[in-house]
Amino acid sequence: MTFMSRRHLVLRIFFVVCLAAASLVEARTVQELSFERLVAESDVIVRGRVEELKTRQASDQRSIMTIVKVSVERQFKGPIITSLRIEQPGGTIADIVQGVPGLPEFSSDEKVIIFLKHHRRDVYRIVGGKQGKFSIKTLPNHNEVVEDLAHRTEALDTFVDRLTNTIKRGS
């Protein structure tokens, strides 16, 4: 094994150890939010579809940012918008993957209900990390369900009723 390949292997192992340590720290610092608190802390709550995913080098030139563009299909809370951008740390550029524990991952064309905090101008952040993203899935019988971070499902209609009732009670 050459010096450069050993060095490369050591750097990869170091990176994995750092990520593992970061996930342990993150696991202790992310506070579980009740559904009511998730709603209350959100400026905007929408149902939408992921239109575009982009990654770019962050301004510090050491980290990666993911930009998620979402088209809004239905809005439950907040000022009326037709599309929005979510920016969050982490992502993949070439063969470099940078994960951030506690933040949700998105995929193209994914249908979601998301709980958002206004960050700046037309940019939002997810409230409660993974807790603030619910994926909408279509079952073989064509019924739609909402799936949370723990992969628990609830009928979409039931979830929407619970959401709208919680928003009404909070007003």
Task: Tell whether the model's pLDDT for residue 26 goes beyond 90.
Answer: no
Tens of pLDDT along 63-118?
A: 899 999 999 999 999 999 999 999 999 998 888 888 889 999 999 999 999 999 99
The mean pLDDT of the chain is: 86
CA distance 163 to 157: 10
**Cα torsion through 17, 19, 24, 28, rounded to 10:** 150
CA distance 104 to 35: 17
Contact status, residue 76 vs residue 167, Cβ threshold 8 Å: yes
β-strand 96-98 against 91-93: which pairing, if any?
A: antiparallel
What percent of the chain has a predicted confidence (pLDDT) above 90? 67
The residue among 146, 152, 110, 103 whose CA lies nearest residue 127 is 103
pLDDT the model gives residue 31 = 81
